[in-house]
């Protein structure tokens, strides 16, 4: 029986919503929020990136990311340094690295609950299909990771 695009879209959204709720709850227990942890993850993966690039990686506006980064600096999790031109580069402090590590441990349980029932071949196939949908989707709506 074919699956409607509406049902498929809703299933993807339900999974994303479950992940977001579960991750947010676990990360709060670890002393951070999903938005903060996602910013720390983006900074760790792309050290010395501009605020604009990090905003795109975390699905935020430049202004929203700037406010979040300021809070992370005040919390001692991130340091900022001047980059090229007007760019500001970001790096994690040791405290930020510690929070990031705790966050990975916290979200691991959420992801395991969702994807644990799938074997490695099924996970790889799901990943391939989602990436294909993202890459072949509407131009201008592509999202980079």
Write out the chain's pLDDT in tens, 145 residues. 899 999 999 999 999 999 999 999 999 998 899 999 999 999 999 988 888 899 999 999 999 999 999 999 999 999 988 777 777 789 999 999 999 999 999 999 999 999 999 999 999 999 999 999 988 866 555 454 4
Residues with Cβ within 8 Å of 29's Cβ and at least 6 positions away in sequence, in order, are: 106
- Reported residue count of the chain is 145
CB distance 92 to 41 below 8 Å: no
* CATH number for 45: 1.10.10.10
Nearest residue to 71 via CA among 33, 123, 128: 33
Tell me whether residue 141 is in a domain.
no
Tell me whether residue 58 is in a domain.
yes
Containing structural domain, residue 80? 7-136
> Among the residues of 30-137, which ranges form H helices?
34-45, 51-57, 62-74, 94-115, 120-136
Give Dmax (Cα) for the chain.
57
Tell me whether residue 16 is in a domain.
yes
This prediction's pTM: 0.81
Domain count, the chain: 1
Separation CA 38–CA 58 (nearest Å): 6
Dihedral angle of Cα 124, 127, 133, 134, to the nearest 10 degrees: -140
Tell me whether residue 2 is in a domain.
no
Tell me whether residue 76 is in a domain.
yes
In the chain, what is the straight-line distance between the N-terminal and C-terminal CA atoms, in Å? 33
């Amino acid at each position: 029986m074919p699956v409607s695009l509406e049902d498929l879209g809703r299933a993807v959204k339900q999974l994303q919503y479950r992940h977001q709720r579960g991750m947010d709850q676990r990360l709060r227990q670890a002393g951070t929020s999903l938005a903060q942890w996602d910013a720390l993850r983006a900074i760790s993966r792309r050290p010395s990136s501009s605020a604009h690039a990090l905003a795109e990686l975390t699905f935020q506006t430049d202004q929203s990311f700037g406010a979040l980064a300021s809070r992370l600096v005040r919390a001692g999790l991130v340091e900022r340094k001047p980059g090229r031109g007007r760019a500001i580069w970001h790096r994690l402090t040791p405290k930020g690295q510690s929070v990031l590590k705790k966050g990975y441990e916290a979200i691991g349980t959420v992801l395991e609950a969702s994807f644990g029932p799938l074997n490695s071949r099924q996970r790889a196939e799901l990943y391939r299909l989602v990436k294909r949908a993202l890459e072949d989707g509407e131009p201008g709506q592509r999202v980079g990771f």
